[in-house]
Structure 1
Amino acid sequence: MKVLLCAAILLTLAFPALAQSQFARAWPETDFTRSNVPFDEIFSGGVPRDGIPALTDPSFITVTQADIPADEPVMTVELDGEVPRAYPLRYLTWHEIVNDTIGTVPVAVTFCPLCNSGLVFDRRVGDRVLEFGVSGLLRHSDMVMYDRQTHSWWQQFTGDAIVGALTGLELTEVVSWMEPMGAFAERHSDGLVMAQPGAPRPYGVNPYERYDSSARPFLYFGEDPPHGIAPLARVVRVGDRAWPLERLESGLIEEAGLRIEWTAGMASALDQNSISGSRDVGFVRVRDADTGDDVVHEVVFAFAFHAFAPDGEWMLGE
């Protein structure tokens, strides 16, 4: 597998036009006449299309039924008028995309372990409702998703269609955040938790052991972040701004119209072999400083923010 992966990387770097034709043979339903990124930035992640199986219409159980350790991370979605839902990373790590519907809103709950980027998108584009799968491809080490309707490729970190018939369109991000299961359960005793999928996977095990303490990201060939920030340092991303997580040692920052709060108690999903009991990285909520409303944000690796927002603003404080 490693030999084949290295060969594919060399092919893409040396002969981008040939690599594009290889993509076209593997993806006959994709319109390769439309794209807005260089094809030599896209690599195989070592698995084929759907080798990481996305989920659709998952089952849910109550908080009291969920046997999830209190420190394990979940992605939380709270839509007005709907019962809050938690999507455990012990499942998302192995499936990366969950196509769900909350009330009347079709959503894609996504997690790219290589960028630590957990984002939720509205699956509606115009009059279409899309269903997403995992392409097995990476760009700047970030998952490239594809939709099953047009086989267009979508960048998970930005929600943009980058190749195919829908190139140039953008998904609307839904407010979500990561927090430990215990915090979700304490706040929502009547909440719903995604049930364990039926796939034969060792849920609760981290297949990317010690990844978040690595020196370099996987299949990333871009620049390192500026200001001496380590590529795999965590940052709080809000739009085109990023706050290094180390600035939140006091627990709270109020600036740029935002209230950014860090709380201890959430295990990293990318540290030890077992997620539960891994290194405590804490969790973050970002709210509008005036209204108190939750704001779209993510806690991601610094290299990914720099790759997708090269002109972004680094909020370093004094």
Structure 2
Amino acid sequence: MNRRRFVAALGTTASVGVAGCLGTSGGASAPTDGFETTDADGDVNPVAFGNVSLPVSEDELNRGARQDGIPAIVDPEFGSDWSDVDATLDDVEPVVGVELGGEARAYPLAVLNWHEIVNDAFDRPILVTYCPLCGSAVVAERVVAGDTRTFGVSGYLWHSDLVMYDRESDSLWSQVLATAIRGPLTGTELDLLPATTTSWGEWRASHPDTSVLLPPPLSDTVTGRVTRDYDRDPYRGYDASSRIGIGYNDDVDDRLHPKTRVLGVAHGGEAVAYPLSAVSETPLVTDDVGGLPVVVAATTGGTLVAYDRRVDGSALSFDRESGTDVLAAGGSRWNLLTGRATDGPHAGTTLTRANDRSPMFWFAWAEFFPDTAIYVRA
């Protein structure tokens, strides 16, 4: 597939370089090998994390709400739909979809816009997060140094992104980086898990046995049983505006409109942003990011996905069946949304996600990956 990429000279003050966000996750464990964070007196020492010096200075954190003013969900409840809920879940409602160990669950943005964090468990304790200001969904394991952690909303923002805290250590965590940026666990990274930001209709069609998160008061929160108007979007109009966060971003990469929806792939010291608008103009994009062979596409419903094209060590060449969400490669047909082969020699094989984080607004991706290239269709 013909494509052109470019990297423009930075016009912003880079806070986190590509190396700081890529790396291989060492798992959610206590920092070691140069990541020790306290001295003999128990004082926190600076930690090198990419181009960021951790811990982040308090001056870089901006207060958006009081701690737990946005109450994280700590005891989620699920159902097959919202038929017994005093709110509407239409097929077009965006959801964060997670599939682990053969079990699928959907987390509607109608809930996440109000609560931002869900402490959940599949075959392991997991953390489902969403920052409405950055449009970023990040899912990770919430086991740190062998202990299960409970996460809440600190009320702070860093680069307009959600700053979480864990109740056990009171460390502060960057949502996009999935890394502790202040406190005893500074420098610790969470293990990221694959997730999809799509519509309830698309997710349910591809995962017919899925369950869906029920809003409070059916699900309990860190502050007890609360309720919100889940039929009302508290950020209505924000995704179409040029406004960024709540006013703390001084420098913005203006190569794209700040709210352009992009899927970012970072690997081998390179990062590429794939805008939904550009990807939607072509059946699929075949690319290479830092030595990682990828295929990127948008479903007919507008969901951006990216996969590692390698199967059994060999990179496949994909085509797309016209007007469908079906890919073809290696003698098999593949479901675009799930990445799973449905027939042929690869039946049952699932492609590995090429992106660690779900699509987000351009300004957020560029803030954390300032050296990113941008895919542009030739």
The TM-score normalised by the length of structure 1 is: 0.79
Q: Tell me the residue number matched to 1:274.
A: none
Q: Tell me the residue number matched to 2:251.
A: 223
Deviation at 1:65, TM superposition (A): 5.1
Question: Which of residues 303, 308, 315 in structure 1 aligns to 2:363?
Answer: 303
| Amino acid corresponding to residue 260 of structure 1 in structure 2 | V
Deviation at 1:138, TM superposition (A): 0.3
Q: Tell me the residue number matched to 1:259.
A: 295
Deviation at 1:217, TM superposition (A): 0.1
Cα pair distance change 1:229/1:32, threshold 3 Å: farther
- The Cα offsets for residues 84-110 of structure 1, whole Å up to 9 and x where unpaired, read as 11111111110000000012x111100
Q: Tell me the residue number matched to 1:50.
A: 68
| Amino acid corresponding to residue 137 of structure 1 in structure 2 | Y
Q: Tell me the residue number matched to 1:183.
A: 202
Q: Tell me the residue number matched to 1:143.
A: 162
Instruction: Say if 1:32 and 1:164, in contact at 8 Å, map to a contact too.
Output: no
Deviation at 1:64, TM superposition (A): 8.3
Q: Tell me the residue number matched to 2:119.
A: 99
**Structure showing the higher helix proportion among its residues:** 1
Cα pair distance change 1:52/1:251, threshold 3 Å: farther
Question: Which of residues 304, 310, 313 in structure 2 aligns to 1:284?
Answer: 304
Say whether 1:70 aligns with 2:98: no
Deviation at 1:37, TM superposition (A): 2.0
- The Cα offsets for residues 233-281 of structure 1, whole Å up to 9 and x where unpaired, read as 111112332112221122421212112121243xxxxxxxxxxxxxxxx
Give the whole-Å Cα distance in 1 for the aligned partners of 2:111 and 2:74.
13
Give the whole-Å Cα distance in 2 for the aligned partners of 1:56 and 1:246.
36
Give the whole-Å Cα distance in 2 for the aligned partners of 1:307 and 1:287.
23
- The Cα offsets for residues 201-258 of structure 1, whole Å up to 9 and x where unpaired, read as 01031111110111230233242225x3112211111233211222112242121211
Give the whole-Å Cα distance in 1 for the aligned partners of 2:242 and 2:163.
23
| Amino acid corresponding to residue 75 of structure 1 in structure 2 | V
- The Cα offsets for residues 137-159 of structure 1, whole Å up to 9 and x where unpaired, read as 10110010000000000000110
Q: Which runs of 5+ in 1 are unaligned?
A: 1-30, 266-281
| Amino acid corresponding to residue 221 of structure 1 in structure 2 | N
Say whether 1:130 aligns with 2:149: yes
Q: Tell me the residue number matched to 1:242.
A: 273
| Amino acid corresponding to residue 253 of structure 1 in structure 2 | V
Give the whole-Å Cα distance in 1 for the aligned partners of 2:198 and 2:277.
18
Q: Which runs of 5+ in 2 are unaligned?
A: 1-41, 46-53, 218-225, 312-350
Q: Percent identity?
A: 37
| Amino acid corresponding to residue 141 of structure 2 in structure 1 | D
Give the whole-Å Cα distance in 1 for the aligned partners of 2:227 and 2:83.
21
Q: Tell me the residue number matched to 1:21.
A: none
Instruction: Say if 2:170 and 2:183, in contact at 8 Å, map to a contact too.
Output: yes
Deviation at 1:63, TM superposition (A): 4.5
Moved more, 286-295 or 146-155: 286-295
Give the whole-Å Cα distance in 2 for the aligned partners of 1:85 and 1:69.
16
| Amino acid corresponding to residue 224 of structure 1 in structure 2 | V
In the alignment of these two chains, the number of paired residues is 268
Deviation at 1:114, TM superposition (A): 0.2
Cα pair distance change 1:72/1:64, threshold 3 Å: closer
Say whether 1:41 aligns with 2:70: no
Question: Which of residues 80, 85, 94 in structure 1 aligns to 2:105?
Answer: 85
The TM-score normalised by the length of structure 2 is: 0.67
Instruction: Say if 1:132 and 1:147, in contact at 8 Å, map to a contact too.
Output: yes
Give the whole-Å Cα distance in 2 for the aligned partners of 1:64 and 1:314.
39
Q: Higher RCO, 1 or 2 (CA under 8 Å, sep at least 6)?
A: 2
SS of aligned partner of 1:315: strand
RMSD: 1.9
| Amino acid corresponding to residue 131 of structure 2 in structure 1 | C
Instruction: Say if 2:107 and 2:213, in contact at 8 Å, map to a contact too.
Output: yes
Instruction: Say if 1:106 and 1:123, in contact at 8 Å, map to a contact too.
Output: yes
